[in-house]
Structure 1
Amino acid sequence: MSLSNIFNIAGSGMSSQSIRLNTVASNMANAESVSSSADDTYRARQPVFQLIQAQQDDPFGAALSSSMAAGQGVQVVDIVESEAPLRQQYEPNHPMADENGYVFYPNVNVVEEMTNMISASRSFQVNADIMNTAKEMMQRVLTLGQS
């Protein structure tokens, strides 16, 4: 793996964590939205990450198995809706209540979303720090021949 690959790998991590932060923001924004039917109610969403595999050859020309090959970053392959049950509350005076007096709230767990937000922002920061460290290393390599 060359030093220049680090920028692609860390960049893919930053991009994926940005998508994760966007889904957290969407979930938090809709946490208290109500609906009169279960079908129309917002459901929490989560991104699905996948390793980007690199095709590598060993020094003797044989292809390495995928379990031994180094990853080349991460990508979001899908955003799935949570299968957790919706919150159903009896509020007959609510304007969005159905004919039985129930309103439906999303299945968003605010504590879990805050944890996801903290984790995503820290992962994003780590990838940014990796990029800065790699940049500093490349600059130092360029100055080696000057003295």
Structure 2
Amino acid sequence: MTDFSKSLSVSASALQAQSQRLRHVSENIANVDTPGYRRKTVSFEAVRNGPHIGGVEAGPVRLGQTELQQIFDPNHPLSDATGHYKGSNVNLVVELADAREAQRSYEANLKLFDQARQMSSSLLDLLRR
């Protein structure tokens, strides 16, 4: 595998991993008001085999273990005898920060992918002369 194709492969694997991270962040934001919803997080792992060796991939999805928020609403169908029900453990500030970080990482990997593509294209142009 040439260095150009390897850099494209590594960058593509990072793009896929960041897009999966963004998907989970958007799910968390969409379910911020869903009773009993637990925040999803994803970690990254190094690729040890396959076409993207040296790249990254999204690891298993983990559910947040922080306590669910207790919400007082005696009229809610899920409320207990004290009038409380369990909300979600999603913090919008944390989710927005995660979304911004994932977006910036995605953009950086996209720029790397584009740079490698342009360099390989320029090399082919030079070789044709």
Alignment match of 1:131 (pick from 99, 106, 113): 113
Partner secondary structure for residue 131 of structure 1: helix
| 1:8 aligned partner | 9
Q: Does 1:49 align with 2:31?
A: no
TM-score, normalised via structure 2 length: 0.89
One-letter code aligned to 2:43: V
1:17-68 Cα offsets, whole Å, 9 max, x none, are 111011001100110122xxxxxx11001002101247xxxxxxxxxxxxxx
* Displaced runs of 4 or more, over 3 A: none
Pairs aligned (count): 125
Q: Displacement of 1:95 after TM fit?
A: 3.1
Q: Displacement of 1:116 after TM fit?
A: 0.6
Partner secondary structure for residue 103 of structure 1: strand
The structure whose residues are more often helix, as a share, is 2
One-letter code aligned to 2:19: S
Partner secondary structure for residue 105 of structure 2: helix
1:3-42 aligned at under 5 Å gives the runs 3-34=4-35, 41-42=36-37
Structure 1: which 5+ residue stretches go unaligned? Answer: 35-40, 55-70
1:61-140 aligned at under 5 Å gives the runs 72-140=54-122
Alpha-carbon separation, structure 2, partners of 1:135 and 1:111: 36
Q: Highest CA radius of gyration, 1 or 2?
A: 1
Partner secondary structure for residue 76 of structure 1: strand
In percent, how many aligned pairs have the same letter? 29
Alpha-carbon separation, structure 2, partners of 1:126 and 1:14: 9
- RMSD, matched Cα: 1.6
TM-score, normalised via structure 1 length: 0.79
One-letter code aligned to 1:74: V
